Amino acid sequence: MNSATSNIEAVARDICSRQLSRNGECRAAPAADVDLYWHCVAAELEAGLIDDNGDPLPHGFEEGLEAYRDWCRRHPESNPSPELV
C-alpha cells in the first residue's frame, strides 16, 4: 500500500471493524471480514458518503456503487473484487 492510501486504509479499517462488531459488543470483528470490506468504507469516506465515525450521509445506491468502482479503478492494488470494476 502506498503512502497516499495508508492513512485512509487505517481509518477505513477502524471504522469497518466497528461497523462489523455486533451491536456494540466488545468482541472485535474477524480480521478476514475487515480485510474484505475496508475498501468499501474507504470509498465511501473519500466520496463523502459517510462521516469520520462511519455514519452514513444522504446518498443513493448508485452513488455508493460508483464510489466503490472509482476507488477500485484508482487503487487496483487494493481491489479484492476486480470483477466489479
pLDDT tens for each residue of 18-77: 888 865 565 667 888 899 999 999 999 999 999 988 999 999 999 999 999 999 999 888
Residue from 2, 7, 82, 12 nearest 42 by CA: 12
Residue 70 lies in a domain: yes
pTM: 0.77
Instruction: Name the one residue in this structure whose C-alpha cell is 443513493.
Output: 60
How far apart, in Å, are the Cα atoms of 19 and each of 56, 58, 75, 81?
A: 11, 18, 23, 20
Residue 85 lies in a domain: no
Instruction: Name the one residue in this structure whose C-alpha cell is 480480521.
Output: 31
- Structural domains counted in the chain: 1
Domain holding 32, by residue range, is 3-80
What would the mean pLDDT of 12-17 be, rounded to a whole number? 93
Q: What pLDDT score was predicted for residue 48? A: 96
Q: What pLDDT score was predicted for residue 1? A: 46
Q: Look at 51 and 1; give whichever has higher pLDDT.
A: 51
Stretch (H or E) spanning 47: helix 31-47
